[in-house]
Amino acid sequence: MRIRDVKVLPTFVGRRNQFILKIETDEGIHGWGESGLSSRELAVEGAVRHFREFLIGKDPMNIGALWQEMYRSNYFEGGQVLTAAMSAIDIALHDVKGKALGVPVYQLLGGKQRDWVPLFAHTQASGQQMVDDVKLFVSKGWNAIRTWMWAPDERDAQGRRIFEPRESIAPTAHWLTKMREGVGSEPMVGIDYHHRLSVAEAAAFCQRMPRGTIDFLEEPIRDESPEAYEALRRMTDVPFAIGEEFASKWQFLPYIERGITQFARIDVSNVGGLTESMKVAGWCEAHYVDLMPHNPLGPICSAATVHLAAAVPNFSWMEIRSSPTEELGFYDREFFPVQCQQDGPRLIVTDTPGLGVEFDEERAAKQEYRIGETRHLRRREGAITNA
Ligand SMILES: [Mg+2]
C-alpha cells in the first residue's frame, strides 16, 4: 500500500475551525487526522504541503519511520507549526493502518485497558453561576469538573478587551471557596487560569484559598520557562496540570522529570500525534503522572484521544466540550456521521477498525474556513497581557 495524496480540509464546525486532514492510499483506504494549532491553520496547511511532497508514494504502515523522517529530515526541526502538521498526519496514518488491519487503533497501541474513558466537564461561568454549574454537574453524575477564572467582560474606550490578572485573584479564590463549601470534598474540581498570571500572582491566588479547595490548577503561568514553574512549584502544594501547548516529548521532559506537573495535559493533535503521545505517556507512567488530555477540537481529535486513553494505564480524565453547560456544535453529526459515542461523563471506546470516525467531505466543501484570531487582552493602561 502506498500514500496517494495528503489533503487538508480546514472547516468551520460549530463555533470553531477544525483542521481536518485526509490521507488517501492506492488501495482505496483513507485516514482522518486533525491538527490543534487553533487560529494558525494556514501555517499548518503550508507545513502539510511541504511534507506531502515526500509522503506521496511511501508505505503508510511504517508510521514510526515516517514520524522520524518528518521530524528529523528538516535542518530546522520541530516547533509548534511543523509538529501540529505531523500530529494530523500521524493520526491519519494510524486510522489507515487500523482500517488496513481491520482493528481499532487502540490495538496498534498495545490493546484496550478500559472500556470507556472518564471525562471532565468545563464551565466558563463566574460567581454564583459557577457554583450552580458545579452543583448541576455533580447532580448529573460528573465527578471531575474544571472552572474558569473571574473575567468580567470589560472593554476600553476603543472596544478592546480588558483583563487585570491581579484583580481576578480575590473573586476567583472567594467563589471557589464558596463552591467547595457547597459541593463538599468529594468531586474533583480544578481551574484553568489559561496562563494569565505571573509567578507572584499565581502563588497569591493559591494562598487565598483553604487547603483542599481545588484539586488542580491548570496553566497558572506561561510554560516557556520550566524554571519559573519550579519557583511556583515551591510556593504552593496545589497540583498542576500543564502541557496542552507542548509540541514534543522534549518539551514535556523537564516538567515530568523535575516533578513540576502532576497531570499531563497532553494534546494528541499538537504533541506529534499518537506516536509521540505514547512515548510521553510511558515517561509519565514512570513518574506516576496521569494523562489528563487536552481535547478542545472535534470528533477526530476526540477519537484519537479515546484510543490513547484506552491503551495507557496512567489516565485520569479527558476534556470534552459537550456537557450539561456546553453545547458548542463541535461534534456536529452532519459533518461527522460516524464518531465516538458519549454517555454523560463517559466516552465509549469504539471497536470500529481505525479511529472510528468519518468526515463528510462533500458537506464540508459547502462550508468555508473562516480566518479567526484568538482574543487579545490588555491591561487598563493599554499593555498586552496573556490571552
Ligand atoms: Mg487549558
Q: What is the 84 CA–ligand 1 centroid distance (Å)? A: 17
- Nearest alpha carbon to residue 176 among 136, 218, 209: 209
Q: Where does the pLDDT of residue 368 fall: very low under 50, low under 70, confident under 90, or very high at 90 and above?
A: confident
Q: Where does the pLDDT of residue 372 fall: very low under 50, low under 70, confident under 90, or very high at 90 and above?
A: confident
Q: Where does the pLDDT of residue 371 fall: very low under 50, low under 70, confident under 90, or very high at 90 and above?
A: confident
Cα dist. 133→145, 188, 258, 368 in Å?
10, 14, 35, 34
Q: What is the 336 CA–ligand 1 centroid distance (Å)? A: 25
Domain boundary among 60, 80, 104: 104
Residues in Cβ contact with 358 at an 8 Å cutoff, skipping those fewer than 6 apart: 32, 336, 337, 338, 339
- Cβ proximity of 79 and 71 under 8 Å: no
Q: What is the 218 CA–ligand 1 centroid distance (Å)? A: 6
Q: Provide the whole-model pTM.
A: 0.97
CB atoms within 10 A of CB 308: 27
Please give the grid coordinates belonging to residue 229.
514553574
Q: What is the CATH number of the domain that holds 77?
A: 3.30.390.10
- Cβ proximity of 92 and 38 under 8 Å: no
Q: What is the 194 CA–ligand 1 centroid distance (Å)? A: 5
User: What average pLDDT does the chain have?
Assistant: 97
Q: What is the 296 CA–ligand 1 centroid distance (Å)? A: 9
Question: How confident is the model over 97-121, as a mean pLDDT?
Answer: 98
Say if 383 falls within a structural domain: no
Say if 360 falls within a structural domain: no
66 or 371, greater pLDDT: 66
**Whether residue 383 has pLDDT greater than 90:** yes
Question: How confident is the model over 217-243, as a mean pLDDT?
Answer: 98
Say if 328 falls within a structural domain: yes
Residues with CB under 5 A from ligand 1 (ion): 192
Helix axes 199-207, 165-183, angle to 10 degrees: 30
Domain boundary among 82, 104, 126: 104
Answer yes or no: do 84 and 161 share one domain: no
Q: What is the 74 CA–ligand 1 centroid distance (Å)? A: 30
Q: What is the 260 CA–ligand 1 centroid distance (Å)? A: 16
Answer yes or no: do 99 and 113 share one domain: no
**Whether residue 381 has pLDDT greater than 90:** yes
Say if 247 falls within a structural domain: yes
Answer yes or no: do 35 and 54 share one domain: yes
pLDDT of res. 351: 96
Q: What is the distance, to the nearest Å, from the Cα of residue 361 to the centroid of all Cα atoms in its chain?
A: 24
Q: What is the distance, to the nearest Å, from the Cα of residue 252 to the centroid of all Cα atoms in its chain?
A: 14
SS3 of 327-387: the string is ECCCCCCCCCCECCCEECCEEECCCCCECCCECCHHHHHCCCCCCCCCCCEECCCCCEECC
Q: What is the 343 CA–ligand 1 centroid distance (Å)? A: 23
Say if 191 falls within a structural domain: yes
Say if 304 falls within a structural domain: yes
Answer yes or no: do 284 and 202 share one domain: yes
**Which of 73-77, 113-117, 261-265 is least confident?**
73-77
In whole angstroms, what is the distance from residue 211 CA to residue 45 CA? 46
Answer yes or no: do 70 and 116 share one domain: no
Domain that holds residue 31: 3-104
pLDDT of res. 57: 98
Answer yes or no: do 233 and 344 share one domain: yes
In whole angstroms, what is the distance from residue 30 CA to residue 261 CA? 37
Say if 361 falls within a structural domain: no
Answer yes or no: do 96 and 241 share one domain: no
Domain boundary among 56, 76, 104: 104
Answer yes or no: do 50 and 145 share one domain: no
Please give the grid coordinates belonging to residue 52.
506531502
Q: What is the 146 CA–ligand 1 centroid distance (Å)? A: 10
Answer yes or no: do 146 and 61 share one domain: no
pLDDT of res. 279: 98
pLDDT of res. 234: 98
**Whether residue 123 has pLDDT greater than 90:** yes
User: pLDDT of 291-324, one tens digit each?
Assistant: 999 999 999 999 999 999 999 999 999 999 999 9
Answer yes or no: do 180 and 306 share one domain: yes
User: pLDDT of 317-332, one tens digit each?
Assistant: 999 999 999 989 999 9
Residues in Cβ contact with 53 at an 8 Å cutoff, skipping those fewer than 6 apart: none
Q: What is the 55 CA–ligand 1 centroid distance (Å)? A: 32
Q: What is the CATH number of the domain that holds 276?
A: 3.20.20.120
Per the structure, the count of domains in the chain is: 2
Side-chain half-sphere exposure of 26, counting CA atoms within 13 A: 11
Answer yes or no: do 113 and 255 share one domain: yes
User: pLDDT of 127-167, one tens digit each?
Assistant: 999 999 999 999 999 999 999 999 999 999 999 999 999 99
CB atoms within 10 A of CB 382: 10
- DSSP letters for 275-315: HHHHHHHHHHHHTT-EE-----S-HHHHHHHHHHHHH-S-B
Question: How confident is the model over 5-25, as a mean pLDDT?
Answer: 95
Side-chain half-sphere exposure of 137, counting CA atoms within 13 A: 29
Say if 374 falls within a structural domain: no
Q: What is the 148 CA–ligand 1 centroid distance (Å)? A: 10
pLDDT of res. 77: 87
pLDDT of res. 277: 98
Question: How confident is the model over 351-372, as a mean pLDDT?
Answer: 93
Answer yes or no: do 118 and 79 share one domain: no
